[in-house]
């Protein structure tokens, strides 16, 4: 809802004559709280119902967390805008301990993300993990009642809700490389709707974020839709160059293959393909096929 209001404000600020009605659509990912996220990651469980509403002309555009989107666009739909990215890092919330290093031996960390689990296990192989679902307040409440010693959430989500004060340690990418598209709000519409595409591009699209997230998504698409291995990728830009940091890991974190690819700003696809090939050359295919 925060993201929907944010996009609506961006559009109406640029085009004051537009009136926007917000339509709330519950997705399978919202309803099925009993299914671990690791089992449905990358399958579009948070977007399918929304995309159906677009395809059926029940809505004119849709607001998504870019990290929830499948790596390739659905037929007939297009991502018309990538809003300016927030802080892409992950946050540790450990009220009684503070930092990852200070967690006691065998501490329980709440996160359903295999990406986070693998990278944290590489640093702290003694940690145990529990699945956690629900919105931010629900997850924080579970932590407060002692369901876990620590919780991992996205920094951007906490910041948008004004809850960043609960963060006890921000995990740097060297420790926990972000998920593809993390901290980016993406706006989707029908590919034939030129007027809406132009409106969203002018009011919401941020070129640097678009370049970086498109690079990450291209990398993810190269891995294939059926990839269930822990994967992470984060692109950053300088004035002239684009760099992609990527990794693939075993779920237990005992093996992590990392790479970095870079090129000029206009070579987004080349950067993504360079990272993918570099991982394959280091033996990533064995990890991806498991």
Decide: helix, strand or coil at residue 21. coil
**Which residues contact residue 196 at a Cβ distance below 8 angstroms, ignoring those fewer than 6 apart?**
60, 61, 80, 189, 190
User: For 277, phi and psi rounded to 5 degrees?
Assistant: -65, -40
Is 205 among the catalytic positions?
A: no
Q: What pairs with residue 108 in β-bridges?
A: 128
In which region does residue 22 sit, left (phi positive, over 0), alpha (psi from -120 to 50) or beta (all else)? beta
Q: Which is catalytic among the residues 30, 34, 60, 68?
A: 68
The sign of the dihedral angle between the CA atoms of 15, 21, 25, 30 is positive
Give the residue numbers marked as catalytic.
68
């Amino acid at each position: 809802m925060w993201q929907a209001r944010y996009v609506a404000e961006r559009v109406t600020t640029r085009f004051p004559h537009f009136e926007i009605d917000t339509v709330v659509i519950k997705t399978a990912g919202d309803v099925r709280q009993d299914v671990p996220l690791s089992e449905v990651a990358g399958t579009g469980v948070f977007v399918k119902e929304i995309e159906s509403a677009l395809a059926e002309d029940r809505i004119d555009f849709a607001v998504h967390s870019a990290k929830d989107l499948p790596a390739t666009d659905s037929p007939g739909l297009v991502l018309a805008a990538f809003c300016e990215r927030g802080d892409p890092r992950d946050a540790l919330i450990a009220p009684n301990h503070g930092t990852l290093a200070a967690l006691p031996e065998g501490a329980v960390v709440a996160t359903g993300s295999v990406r986070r689990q693998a990278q944290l296990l590489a640093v702290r192989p003694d940690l145990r993990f529990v699945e956690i679902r629900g919105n931010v307040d629900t997850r924080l409440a579970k932590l407060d009642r002692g369901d876990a010693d620590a919780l991992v959430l996205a920094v951007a989500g906490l910041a948008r809700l004004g809850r960043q004060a609960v963060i006890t340690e921000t995990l740097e990418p060297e420790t926990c490389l972000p998920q593809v598209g993390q901290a980016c709000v993406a706006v989707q519409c029908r590919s034939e709707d030129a007027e809406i595409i132009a409106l969203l591009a002018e009011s919401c699209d941020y070129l640097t974020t678009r370049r970086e997230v498109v690079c990450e998504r291209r990398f993810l698409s190269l891995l294939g839709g059926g990839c269930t291995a822990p994967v992470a990728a984060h692109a950053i830009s300088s004035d002239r160059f684009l760099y992609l940091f990527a990794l693939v890991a075993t779920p237990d974190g005992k093996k992590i293959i990392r790479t970095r690819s870079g090129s000029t700003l206009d070579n987004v696809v080349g950067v993504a393909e360079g990272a993918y090939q570099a991982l394959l050359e280091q033996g990533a295919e064995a990890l991806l096929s498991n």
